[in-house]
Structure formats: structure tokens, C-alpha cells
Structure 1
């Protein structure tokens, strides 16, 4: 997906540490979307927060993310499996507008279609953005992230492959089928809705098996 990100609230800080939990970003980009946003349903009663929207080259909002639970920090292998890891429980829901192949605004090219694979890739990359092998030098993280991002795309492009299983979860109260996988970094899932959007999600410390998704009635309330 050729998109750019706007209103990024939770990208890893340059030194590998978490950003301040007090950071909040405007809701403006979310309000510009011509599609409904999804988050966890009312069974989740914890904190909710905006993360980022992604736009096409012509400025149209194509996808965005909403966080639930603890605002995640970068995890490395030193805390993996330790008691500290259990303190961080979060799930991020990614909404992606379902779009066919279409011409760019200037008519000079074609924009890539979006699919469930697009949601799976965005969710996979989102999880990676909060992961950092602790033994790795900071200067090598970009190379590691590029390699892992490519792996996430390969996995997302083969949702029927052995790395994925099927999980049924409610979407607006109706059971829906999702592609699901777990890794050492957390879990990722992706599926579609009846509202013309694809939904991806990722998280750790919070089980995916008990989640449900619902349309966000008032995105402005998240600001």
C-alpha cells in the first residue's frame, strides 16, 4: 500500500524507549475518513486512544489505528518472559478501507487495491514497531525492521498458508472469520466486515480469543 502516515502518536522513540503516555494527537484525520472506524466492542472497558491515520498520495485517508489498554513501549528480549512483560497489555485495531484498483487523482497511474492482506500487513508492521531485539545495536535496527517488514508482507500475502489459523470473533455482534497467527512478538489477525472495510489487529499480553469488534459510534470522543 502506497500510503503515508499522519498524526503518528506512538512510533518508537529514537533512543528505543517509549514515548510519553501523555502524548495525544488530533482527531482531524479520523474525521476525514469516508468509512467507519472499528475498535474493540463494549466488553472492553479499559483506556482507548488514537494512534495514526494513513493517507494516499492525493491525501485521502485509507486506514488508521486505535489502541486499547496499556500504551505499548518497545519490547526487547531482556523483558520477554519476565514479570515486567505482564504489565503491558494492549490491542490495536486497524481499519482499512476496502478499495479496488483505481486511478490516481492526477490520472497518471493506478493505486493498489486493498484487501484482507493489506490489513494483515499493516497489523504485522504495527506490532514490529514496538519490538526491538535487545542484543541489537541501535544503528542496525532499521535494517532489522526492513527485513521483518518484508517478512510480514510475505506472510500477509499467503493467508491460506501454514503460518495462519482461523479464528471466529464477533464483529458488530455477528460472528466473522479472521486469519490469526502468533509470534514471539505478539499476535496478529485480519478479516473483513459487512461495512466495506477490512479489520486488522495486533497485541500482546491480551488474549485475542476473547475479543470482539464494533463500529466506533463517535470517533471524536477519542480525542
Structure 2
């Protein structure tokens, strides 16, 4: 893919503990409190604005995780709104989840790597689509699958999400206009049996690097994407 970089677990800060961890109060990086602090610090250190749902959304919000480059520079992050996502098959038969997760991706041009040994891809709306699509999959598990088969299913579906993100002009996507800072903005949108995904790019401003254009991705279930609006948010008040 020319414009989308894959993100692995090693690229993120403050990820949730892996399924099956024996102690829910600890993570690979230390206690849950330490992980939450690192996540909050990552959000606060970013050199770009964070987007979330605008003030019309009055439900709970939370910091989910940030992704960093090899030099520690924050490149993207996700903010959750509404219910905390859980594995879909594990909530079958219970009240339907209602959540939306907004992913902000720093706009970066094609550039040389820090060590000068290669070239880093530019970030685009495809980057946001890939992160949103893989994020939705992380909270999805078809109930007919055995636990031992989930990894194979996830690998297959993740590859499909990657290919779809690289073809935003393809038939799998439709166009949807949603407000961003009050300005109608085009988004690429698709639905699946697991939820919806959308991605687009903000206009930003030219005179302030903190409000420069960024790429926005989002995914969710139980909340209609058609009624959403996005705005720059102050993450300092959000729990991690």
C-alpha cells in the first residue's frame, strides 16, 4: 500500500491487556494506573489537535490509546464515546452496545525515516480508514467461531480491511458528508455486519500548526454514523 502504514501492537501506548491476562490490574508495561498515565501523557504530548464527537454528544468519553513512531513521536490516537466496546459474541443476547470511536491521524507527507535508511509513507484518509477498520475488528468475534480459530479469522479480516482502506474509491465505500468544526466535510463510509467505518480529512488552517489538517477515522455500533459531528476536543479532562 502506497499511502497507508500498518500499525502493530508495538506501535501503541496504553493498549488494553490481552485477552486471558491473569491479573486485570496489570499490563505488560506495569500496573493499569501506570498504563493510563502513559496514555494520558501520550495524548497531551501530541503535536496535532485531537478530534472527537462534538458537544451534541453528552455521554461518557475516554482515552483509548495512542500510536507512536520509532522516535516516540505521537502519530495517532483513539477516543471512545458511549459504551466501552466489548467482543461482540460475548454480549450476544444482552442490550445492544452503543459506541463510537474517533481516530485522529497526524497529517504527514512522504518523508525520509529518522535514521536516513528509508522513506516513510505519507498519511492519508486511507491511513485513518485502516486504523478504524482494524479497531472495529479488534472488538468483533463471530459467535460461531471457536476461541482457537479467532486469530486466523482476525488475520484474514484484517487483511481485507487493509485492502479496503487502500481503495476508498472502490464500490465498498459510499460518500457521506458530516460536520467537522461546523464545516460540511466528505467522508468515505461503509457498513458491515460488525458495525460501520468512516474516514476523511479535515481542512485545518494554514496559520496554526495545532489546527493543521488531520485525518479522521471512526468506527462504531449501535450509534448511527449519519447523525455524527466532529470537533477539536480538550483531552485533558478525559479518563484513560
Q: Same fold (TM over 0.5)?
A: yes
Check conservation: 1:167, 1:179, Cα contact below 8 A: yes
Counterpart-to-counterpart distance in 1, 2:20 and 2:68: 23
3-state SS of paired residue (2:19) = coil
Check conservation: 1:12, 1:129, Cα contact below 8 A: no
Aligned residue pairs, count: 212
1:68 corresponds to: 81
Check conservation: 1:12, 1:130, Cα contact below 8 A: no
Structure-2-length-normalised TM-score: 0.83
Q: Quick check: 1:123 aligned with 2:132?
A: yes
1:202 corresponds to: 219
2:162 corresponds to: 153
1:113 aligns with one of 114, 119, 122 = 122
Cα drift, residue 209 of structure 1: 0.6
Counterpart-to-counterpart distance in 1, 2:235 and 2:199: 21
1 or 2, which has the higher helix percentage? 2
The 5-angstrom pairing of residues 1-223 of structure 1 reads: 1-3=5-7, 4-9=11-16, 13-14=19-20, 25-26=36-37, 27-76=40-89, 79=92, 82=93, 84-86=94-96, 88-195=97-204, 196-216=213-233, 218-223=234-239
Counterpart-to-counterpart distance in 1, 2:120 and 2:70: 9
Cα drift, residue 220 of structure 1: 1.1
Change (3 A) 1:135 1:163: same
Structure-1-length-normalised TM-score: 0.89
Counterpart-to-counterpart distance in 1, 2:109 and 2:180: 23
After superposing on structure 2, the runs of 4+ consecutive aligned residues of structure 1 that deviate more than 4 Å are none
Counterpart-to-counterpart distance in 1, 2:106 and 2:18: 25
3-state SS of paired residue (1:35) = coil
Counterpart-to-counterpart distance in 1, 2:91 and 2:197: 22
Counterpart-to-counterpart distance in 2, 1:54 and 1:93: 14
Check conservation: 1:2, 1:57, Cα contact below 8 A: no
Change (3 A) 1:149 1:2: closer
3-state SS of paired residue (1:76) = helix
Check conservation: 1:169, 1:209, Cα contact below 8 A: yes
**Unpaired segments ≥5 residues, structure 1:** none
RMSD: 1.9
